[in-house]
């Protein structure tokens, strides 16, 4: 299935939305969690990765995209997920959950170990198409996010900001946070020039994000 028109950044044709819905409704399974770079699966499928502070809602977003409640498991203790977790979507792409950052309870040695693992993955993964950096829409970009943004820029990996938990905001606030975030990343070389606004709980923003992921990976349906 191909799309002849070229929608603008952040715009998606109805056919794209529907194709992405069908794709993400197909079987999704957990493959493995890797604590060392040597453990990564073979780079034989396009991959998109999710990064963000602990407790920003990465597990909820991944589960929301594939329509499953327990594919990615959230921990009761933020920052407990310290591996690179791989999920297969219909044998066509992989969704990758990177270790969270901003842990308050972890030692500096532990934090460095798993941040280095994330950086190694970003630098060396030839099949990585984009990183989706999740930011809590209630707080916007914080100083703790700067290190992640810098690492992504240095890795020359395309990344897009995804605002989460937008259902918690008052009417009109999401648009303001979206605009402020876009302005803040305007001069960052690897930042994709569109900020997505989502709510895993309410489901809004997810159809468009699915379409963006499908477009980015180049996956097509038979």
pLDDT digits (tens, 9 = 90+) for 50-98: 998 878 889 899 999 999 888 877 554 444 456 889 999 999 999 999 8
Instruction: Parse the chain into domains and list their residue ranges.
Output: 14-216
197 pairs with which residues across the strands? 163
The fourth-level CATH superfamily of domain 14-216 is P-loop containing nucleotide triphosphate hydrolases (3.40.50.300)
Taking only the tens place, the pLDDT of each residue in 109-125 is 544 555 677 778 888 78
Instruction: Find, among 205, 208, 197, the residue nearest to 163 by Cα.
Output: 197
Provide the sign of the torsion angle of the four alpha carbons 80, 82, 83, 88, taken in this order.
Answer: positive
Q: How many helices (H) and strands (E) does the chain have?
A: 6, 7
| Token pair for 217 | 């990976």
- Given a contact cutoff of 8 angstroms between Cβ atoms, the answer to whether 194 and 160 are in contact is yes
pLDDT of residue 75: 52
Question: Do 84 and 97 touch, CB atoms closer than 8 A?
Answer: yes
What is the structure's pLDDT at 3? 46
């Amino acid at each position: 299935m191909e799309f002849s028109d070229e929608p603008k950044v952040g715009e998606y044709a109805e056919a794209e939305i529907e194709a992405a819905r069908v794709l993400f409704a197909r079987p999704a399974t957990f493959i493995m969690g890797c604590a060392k770079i040597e453990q990564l699966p073979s780079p034989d499928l396009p991959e998109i990765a999710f990064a963000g502070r602990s407790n920003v809602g990465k597990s909820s977003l991944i589960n929301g995209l594939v329509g499953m409640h327990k594919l990615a498991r959230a921990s009761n203790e933020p920052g407990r997920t310290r591996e690179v977790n791989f999920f297969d979507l219909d044998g066509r792409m992989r969704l990758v959950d990177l270790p969270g950052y901003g842990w308050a309870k972890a030692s500096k040695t532990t934090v460095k170990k798993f941040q280095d693992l994330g950086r190694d993955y970003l630098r060396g993964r030839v099949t990585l198409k984009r990183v989706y950096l999740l930011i809590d829409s209630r707080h916007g970009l914080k100083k703790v996010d700067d290190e992640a943004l810098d690492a992504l820029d240095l890795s020359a990996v395309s990344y897009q900001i995804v605002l989460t938990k937008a259902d918690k905001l008052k009417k009109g606030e999401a648009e303001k946070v979206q605009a402020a975030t876009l302005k803040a990343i305007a001069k960052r070389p690897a930042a994709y020039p569109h900020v997505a606004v989502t709510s895993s709980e309410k489901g809004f923003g997810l159809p468009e994000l699915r379409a963006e992921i499908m477009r980015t990976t180049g996956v097509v349906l038979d």
